[in-house]
Amino acid sequence: MPIAPCFDPTTGASGGASGGGGTVQPVTAPAPTSQAVAAGGTLSAKTFSAFTDPGSRIDNYVATTTTASGSTSWSGSGLGAYTPSGSADGDAGTLSLTARDSSNNPLATAVHSYERASAAGAGWVNSLTIDLTGLSSTTLSAGSQVVDGVTIECQDAGETVGGGAGLSAAATKNVFVDVASAFSGNVENPKLLVMKTTMSSWGGSGTGHAVRARMYSAGISSVGAAPAAQTRFYPSGSAMRLQAQWQHRYPTSTGSFSSSSSYDHAGDSAVTAWYSHIAVIRGTYYVWISKTLDVPTSLEDLLTPDAGTIVAAINAYSVVGTAAYFPSTMFAGLYNQSASSLAKLEEIKAYEYR
């Protein structure tokens, strides 16, 4: 029996035995576009330019909105027009349009960025973004190293980063990324650290498969130093269970983590991509996870959290009235409990309320 050739839906190329046919040229998306309007302005509808489709393979389009902040949504079909709704000052994100073939395999994606400026006054300002998938593909050593200007610390050698994939973390081993620049200025302003983690699948359920997205004031040399907080999430029945874990001590102290009670995200046990949010105001931590980036609209929004946000705080504030609660060092990291549920750290975003 002849062996059927393999088909690559992205390029249209067929493998296996040659039959004399030529390779189908790939579908190409139009160049990225963007729009930015002033506070109080109106975002314009977006019509995408045509994709280049030499093989006439495009059957349909699917649009996806990724919000960096706010709640703007887009509605439309085909190449558009896509009309924005629900926008407000401070909203930002991307509208992506993916061309698919008749089997709904993705062929190419066009991206349109949008931003509506924040009104005058205080707000959450993005102070740092690190795309770990966009770094040069690198196999890392134990200890500290710099990849494309990003300082990464690994407990053991053999972790990998970049080349379209995130930062790996072997089971029970720590990896950290230096994010000190987001904490070194205006140290007493409220901060928010967001870490995106993804995995191919969960290998099981329960605490033995937990993923921890970590915020540490010290790196590999001082794992466990306060202040520190982390999300701890894992499948539990049909839900994704969240706990907050934190060091409840002043920065000059160390000790064991404390764990909060849990919150279950119903029906989400199979979700493999999560954004871990850790907001900090001196010794108080606001911890939540979501399937999309979820930046508070204001300080008031943070201080009146919804049911999925866990609030934790230190209970031994030994020094009052110091100039700065946070030290000049800060790291974002990842720790996987099980080798069969290995997440990767894909992106880090930091925000400051000012």
Q: Looking at the structure, do residues 224 and 340 belong to the same domain, yes or no?
A: yes
Look at residues 78, 104, 119 and tell me which one is the last residue of a structural domain: 119
Task: Return the DSSP state at 302.
Answer: H
Q: How far is CA 108 from the centre of its chain?
A: 22
Q: Looking at the structure, do residues 341 and 200 belong to the same domain, yes or no?
A: yes
Phi, psi of 218 (to 5 degrees): -140, 155
Q: Looking at the structure, do residues 195 and 67 belong to the same domain, yes or no?
A: no
pTM here? Answer: 0.67
Compute the distance between CA of residue 325 and CA of residue 286 in angstroms, rounded to an integer: 16
Neighbours of 205 (CB within 10 A): 17
226: pLDDT strictly greater than 70: no
Compute the distance between CA of residue 130 and CA of residue 349 in angstroms, rounded to an integer: 6
Compute the distance between CA of residue 72 and CA of residue 65 in angstroms, rounded to an integer: 8
Is 18 inside a domain boundary?
no
Please give the residue that has the higher pLDDT: either 198 or 218.
198
Instruction: List beta partners, residue 345.
Output: 167, 197
Q: What is the pLDDT of residues 271-310, one digit of tens each?
A: 999 999 999 887 789 999 999 999 998 899 999 989 999 9
Residue 329's identity, in one-letter code, is T
Is 7 inside a domain boundary?
no
Q: Looking at the structure, do residues 89 and 71 belong to the same domain, yes or no?
A: yes
Compute the distance between CA of residue 69 and CA of residue 189 in angstroms, rounded to an integer: 19
SS3 301: helix
Q: Looking at the structure, do residues 152 and 103 belong to the same domain, yes or no?
A: no
Task: Return the DSSP state at 14.
Answer: B
95 contacts 74 by C-beta, under 8 angstroms: yes
Q: Looking at the structure, do residues 81 and 132 belong to the same domain, yes or no?
A: no
pLDDT confidence band for 316 (50 / 70 / 90)? low
Look at residues 66, 100, 119 and tell me which one is the last residue of a structural domain: 119
Is 1 inside a domain boundary?
no
Q: What is the pLDDT of residues 190-211, one digit of tens each?
A: 999 999 999 999 999 999 999 9
Is 178 inside a domain boundary?
yes
Q: What is the pLDDT of residues 109-151, one digit of tens each?
A: 999 999 998 876 778 889 899 999 999 999 999 999 999 999 9
Compute the distance between CA of residue 245 and CA of residue 213 in angstroms, rounded to an integer: 10
Q: Looking at the structure, do residues 326 and 250 belong to the same domain, yes or no?
A: yes
Is 274 inside a domain boundary?
yes
**Which residue reads 């998938």 in tokens?**
133
Is 76 inside a domain boundary?
yes
Is 277 inside a domain boundary?
yes
Q: Looking at the structure, do residues 153 and 189 belong to the same domain, yes or no?
A: yes
Compute the distance between CA of residue 204 and CA of residue 86 in angstroms, rounded to an integer: 39
Predicted pLDDT of residue 217: 81
Q: Looking at the structure, do residues 203 and 306 belong to the same domain, yes or no?
A: yes
What domain count does the chain have? 2
Q: Looking at the structure, do residues 100 and 164 belong to the same domain, yes or no?
A: no
Compute the distance between CA of residue 219 and CA of residue 222 in angstroms, rounded to an integer: 6
CATH number at residue 300: 2.60.120.560
Please give the residue that has the higher pLDDT: either 226 or 330.
330
Is 20 inside a domain boundary?
no
Q: Looking at the structure, do residues 131 and 278 belong to the same domain, yes or no?
A: yes
Ramachandran category for residue 132: left, alpha or beta (phi over 0 → left; psi -120 to 50 → alpha): alpha
- In sequence order, the 6+-apart residues with CB closer than 8 A to the CB of 20 are none
Look at residues 119, 134, 156 and tell me which one is the last residue of a structural domain: 119
Q: How far is CA 287 from the centre of its chain?
A: 14
**Structure token pair of residue 335:** 């720790």
Q: Looking at the structure, do residues 321 and 348 belong to the same domain, yes or no?
A: yes
Beta strands in 56-105 (DSSP E): 60-69, 73-75, 83-85, 92-100
CATH number at residue 71: 2.60.40.10
Nearest alpha carbon to residue 161 among 172, 149, 350, 351: 149
Domain extent, residue 229, equals 126-353
